[in-house]
Amino acid sequence: MSQNLSGIQDLTGLFAGRTRMNFMHIMHKKTLILISSLLLISPIIILFWDNVAQGQTPRYYHYRVINTYPHDHKAFTQGLIYHDGVLYESTGKWGQSSLRQVDLKTGEILQIYHLPRRYFAEGMTIWQNKIIQLTWRSKIGFVYNLKNFEPLTHFTYPTEGWGMTNDGEKLIMSDGTDKLYFLNVKTFETIGFIQVRDQNIPITKLNELEYIEGEIFANVWKSDLIARISPQTGQVLGWIDLNGLKSLLPKTTHPKPNVLNGIAYDKIGQRLFVTGKFWSQLFEIQLVPVR
Ligand SMILES: [Ca+2]
């Protein structure tokens, strides 16, 4: 994982400038509406233009903390899922990589599988009665029995492995670039990809993923941002700014809390959970649109 932060710095600048851009966007729309009204152009044309404009500019969200739960502060979180009332987590680092089943309310580890020391675990997803887990640079993924974590099989891929989720039909994988790959869930072959863009700006370092209500949510590595991405076009539909969340963590933990990473979604309860690497807490948050 590159230490080059220029992409993130660009992203931060992009985000900071958006208040002004939103204002310009609103003014632009108002001007169009005024001219259109004066020229007695059909309101349908105005509506069409408005939709086009909205498709070009992402929405922005802050957050409200709804609940706080304990989280293993020694877990270098790489993948997080909520499934059937419990959390599943993949943790990284050489010699510390694991697959876990975790009680949400207590943070207790209910079941754990330790990977061989030569593997650095990354993202994962649940498909039917199996767990599929990536590794960082070994170009190998593992498939486990969901119930007892028994290793079943493995597969290979040509890139680094970062995040993983699925849309109910195919696997979705990130590799730290601006690409999200679609994989056949039976053969693990790459069947397509999208390139993620905020308008025309490539968004790189896409990390942990979660497919939520028809969108792909992606942590951007080493930032407090989660991108909401269209699976069809790769366009960023929205930005969630989680700045300040890490500062809510108790100060006494060791190792030091690392970056935000970990998105899980309770589809039935419509609850959104986030955490980070070595974070001692996991947060249920509600998104608050920035007006
Ligand atoms: Ca996830």
Angle at 242 between CA 239 and CA 247, to 5 degrees: 165
Side-chain-side CA neighbours of residue 158 (13 Å): 4
Q: How far is the CA of 55 from the centre of ligand 1 (A)?
A: 25
pLDDT tens per residue across span 111-158: 999 999 999 999 999 999 999 999 999 999 999 999 999 999 999 999
pLDDT at 252: 73
Maximum Cα interatomic distance, the chain, rounded to a whole number of Å: 71
The pLDDT of residue 254: 81
116 CB neighbour count, 10 Å cutoff: 7
> What is the pTM assigned to this prediction?
0.83
Distance of CA 32 from the midpoint of ligand 1 (Å): 41
CA-based torsion, 20, 21, 23, 24: positive or negative: positive
CA distance 147 to 61: 36
What separation in Å is there between the alpha carbon of 253 and the centre of ligand 1? 24
User: What pLDDT, on the 0 to 100 scale, is given for residue 225?
Assistant: 98
Q: Strand 59-70 vs strand 236-241: parallel, antiparallel, or unpaired?
A: parallel
Ligand 1 centre distance from Cα of residue 256 (Å): 22
Q: Yes or no: is domain 59-289 CATH 2.120.10.30?
A: yes
Distance from C-alpha of 263 to C-alpha of 82, rounded to nearest angstrom = 9
For ligand 1, a single-atom ion, the residues with CB < 5 A are: 80, 210, 263
pLDDT in the model for residue 14: 54
Distance (Å) from CA 136 to ligand 1 centroid = 16
Measured in Å, residue 196 CA sits from the centre of ligand 1 at 18
Q: Which residues of the chain have pLDDT under 50?
A: 1-9, 19-54
The predicted-structure confidence for 181-210, as pLDDT tens digits, reads as follows 999 999 999 999 999 999 999 999 999 999
CA of 201 to the centre of ligand 1 (A): 24
Q: What is the pLDDT of residue 45?
A: 37
Gap from CA of 272 to ligand 1 centroid (Å): 10
